[in-house]
Amino acid sequence: MLPIQKQQIAHHIAAALTPLLAGTDLKPTVLLERPKVAEHGDLACNIAMQIAKPLKRNPREVAQAIVDTLAANADAKVLIAAAEIAGPGFINLRLTAAAKQVVVKKVFEQGKAFGTQPGNGEKVLIEFVSANPTGPLHVGHGRQAALGDALAALLEAQGHPVTREFYYNDAGVQIATLATSVQARAKGVKPGDAGWPEAAYNGDYIAEIAADFLAKKTVTADDRSFTASGDVNDVDSIRQFSVAYLRHEQDLDLQAFGVQFDNYFLESSLYTEGRVEATVKALIEAGTTYEQDGALWLRTTAFTDIGDDKDRVMRKSDGTYTYFVPDVAYHLNKWQRGFAKAINVQGSDHHGTVARVRSGLRAVSDAQGLGLPKIYPDYVLHKMVRVMRGGEEVKISKRAGSYVTVRDLIEWVGRDAVRFFLISRKADTEFTFDVDLALSQSEENPVYYVQYAHARICSVLNQWGGNTATLSDVDLSPLTSPREAALLQRLAEFPETLTMAAQDLAPHQVAFYLKDCAADLHSYYNAERVLVDDPALKQARLALLLATRQVLQNGLAMIGVSAPEKM
């Protein structure tokens, strides 16, 4: 049901507790949940069992007292049709038809804003994709893009100003390898030749970069532009051109995926601006480092609540820093930019860095009184994606050389299917992307199933041919069938679904909701005629369909998927 109605019912139950709790210090919280078995009612409450023991009373007796008080409350009876006691003392509530029907009016009033919350001013930074510019975006990056963008939309819907940020390494060993790979290609050396570098990148895209470099082309990405010198011995020009070229390629991948970033952050800036050195100095001054075997170590085990199993090397004996040190500097920068909440969407291979980064941040914050939260940043770690096509696993893209790219998937099945599929499971579970399933027009294909529900509603409304604006104030009292009640309740759950998905950092909950909502719609459509002869019933059912269409649109928009009017 709608959050406001749930709050009202919880208030009525709390009021019913007042005489029972008189003379005690008990301040229980009333929780309402949807029963797992629909026949048990619309809402369930276990408050009687919570307070029975300290009151030294039988829980069913306590439940009966609450039920009797609710039955005598005229305001409660507007929302509650029946309150029943079950088992050891559960209270099952059945809502009135009017209470269920009010959601249709709310959807009409709020339209695209239905399910959202007012602005709260708490800034959030979400870092995702963050691919090094060494090749096209692979399917794992695609899962990050789908998760991160949907999570950003969810948090925006909860009133947060959200910044989407892309962080990448524009220096280091991988970039040097990219430059030598392109240089070899530019000199006419190819994979398999005697002079081909051992650690080089082998994809066809390397040859494309080399050809454009020799042609002295200019490439422009969202964050940079560079013109090639064409000199095969100019390694610096090759490096800068290659990075700009691949950043442009990644921009095209992201555009095809419908993802836009607000900011790009360069790892190199952490060094050029002195942030890494400043962070190391701060950690040393905090007393959380020590020298051993010629290396500088961070005492991460000092932060027992974070849970690292051993101390970590910060600066190796050769004077270079390990990769988590710039991460600490980067996240201090996030905090300094005013982001009290920061979320990283990364592959599960980053699991080992979580405790190190958090320990470094805690050490600096405690020493300098920065006030960072005990757990900062939040992480959403996802497992990798297997791609199946024609019953066989696909591992290689000709252009990328060793993996399936995001653009491969989009070309095969379209953006909507890729987006929906990649958030349709919990991030920390392994996922198999079945290309054949994504192309099928069947109930087993979740994105088709949900989009078809939307198109089905559009078809009925077109067949009716009336002005949908006239449905905003129709009498909804004829909506009393069990399937109508189920669909009404599903619509009312949408705002709370978005809230919980944002709180849990779990966009997959939106995909689950959409599948359930589509199932309720299809079940209703198959069981009941909408364009009946009875004018009042027809108008009420059309209003229900129109509200369902809006909720499906809102949910699909939240995960970046379109809502087609025809299939």
Q: Among 95, 119, 149, identify where a domain stops.
A: 95
Q: How confident is the model at residue 2 (pLDDT cuts 50, 70, 90)?
A: confident
Give the residue from 521, 524, 511 showing the smallest Cα distance to 548.
521
Please name the residue that has the structure tokens 């009151």: 55
pLDDT digits (tens, 9 = 90+) for 215-273: 999 999 988 899 999 999 999 999 999 999 999 999 999 999 999 999 999 999 999 99
> What is the separation of C-alpha 321 from the centre of its chain, rounded to a whole number of angstroms?
32
Strand partners, 47: none
Residue 368 belongs to some domain of the structure: no
Which residue range is the domain that position 83 belongs to?
Answer: 3-95
Query: 169 falls in which pLDDT band (50, 70, 90)?
Result: confident
Q: What does the mean pLDDT of the chain come to? A: 95
Taking each continuous run of H as one helix and of E as one strand, the counts in the chain are 21, 16
pLDDT score at 416: 98
Q: Does residue 193 surpass a pLDDT of 90?
A: yes
- In sequence order, the 6+-apart residues with CB closer than 8 A to the CB of 184 are 190, 195, 196, 197, 200
Give the pLDDT confidence score for residue 359 in this predicted structure.
Answer: 96
Q: Count of domains in the chain?
A: 2
Query: Rg (Cα) of the chain, in Å, rounded?
Result: 29
pLDDT digits (tens, 9 = 90+) for 475-503: 999 999 999 999 999 999 999 999 999 99
Last residue of a domain, one of 61, 95, 129: 95
Look at strands 392-394 and 431-434 and give their pairing.
unpaired
Asked if residue 553 belongs to a domain, the reply is yes
With respect to residue 425, please indicate whether it lies within any of the assigned structural domains. no
pLDDT band at 171 (very low <50, low <70, confident <90, very high): confident
pLDDT at 399: 55
Closest CA to 122 of 170, 88, 163: 163
Residue 44, token pair as written in the block: 């369930």
Q: What is the pLDDT of residues 18-60, one digit of tens each?
A: 999 998 999 999 999 988 888 889 999 999 999 999 999 999 9
Domain end residue (candidates: 95, 116, 139): 95
Flag whether 285 is in a domain: no
Average pLDDT (433-440) is 97
Q: Is residue 535 part of a domain?
A: yes
Tell me the sheet residues that pair with 345: 380
The per-residue pLDDT for 403 is: 82
Task: Quote the percentage of the chain above a pLDDT of 70.
Answer: 99
Per-residue confidence (pLDDT) for residue 398, from 0 to 100 = 55
The answer to whether residue 311 is domain-embedded is no
Greatest mean pLDDT range, 2-11, 121-130, 193-202: 121-130
- Cβ distance 312 to 298 under 8 Å? yes
pLDDT for residue 38: 80
Instruction: Choose among 283, 489, 448: nearest CA to 366.
Output: 283
DSSP helix/strand/coil, 203: coil
Yes or no: say if 381 and 351 are a contact pair by the CB < 8 Å rule: yes
- Contacts within 8 Å (CB) and 24+ apart, 561-566: 561/416, 561/419, 561/420, 561/447, 561/450, 561/451, 562/416, 562/451, 563/451, 563/454, 564/451, 564/454, 564/455, 565/454, 565/455, 565/458, 566/455, 566/458, 566/459
Q: Coil, strand, or helix at residue 138?
A: strand
β-strands 312-315, 295-298: how paired? Answer: antiparallel
Angle at 531 between CA 527 and CA 537, to 5 degrees: 85
Q: What confidence category does residue 348 fall into, taking pLDDT thresholds of 50, 70 and 90?
A: very high
CA angle 214, 219, 222 (to 5 degrees): 160
CA distances from 7 to 37, 523, 541, 548 (A): 22, 30, 28, 23
CB-CB neighbours of 257 under 10 Å: 24
pLDDT exceeds 80 at position 402: no
Distance CA 418, CA 438 (A): 8
Please give the Cα distance from 424 to 146 (Å, whole number): 10
Residue 339 CA from chain centroid, whole number: 18
Q: Is the Cβ–Cβ distance between 263 and 168 less than 8 Å?
A: no
* Interval 92-133: pLDDT, tens: 999 999 999 999 999 999 999 999 999 999 999 999 999 988
Confidence of residue 136 (pLDDT cuts 50, 70, 90): confident
> Which CA distances in Å does 440 have to 434, 447, 498?
10, 10, 28
Supply the CATH number for residue 535's domain: 1.10.730.10
Which residues are CB-neighbours of 193 under 8 A, at least 6 positions away? none
Instruction: Give a yes or no: residue 126 inside a domain.
Output: no
Cis peptide preceding 564, ω within 30 of 0: no
Q: What is the CATH number of the domain that holds 72?
A: 3.30.1360.70
Work out the angle at residue 282's Cα, subtended by the Cα atoms of residues 276 and 284, and round it to the nearest 5 degrees: 105
Cα distance between residue 40 and residue 86, in whole Å: 9
- In whole angstroms, what is the distance from residue 540 CA to residue 535 CA? 9
Instruction: Report the pLDDT averaged over residues 73-87.
Output: 95
pTM: 0.92
pLDDT at 397 over 90: no
Is residue 45 a part of any domain in this protein?
yes
CA–CA gap between residue 115 and residue 495 (Å, rounded): 4
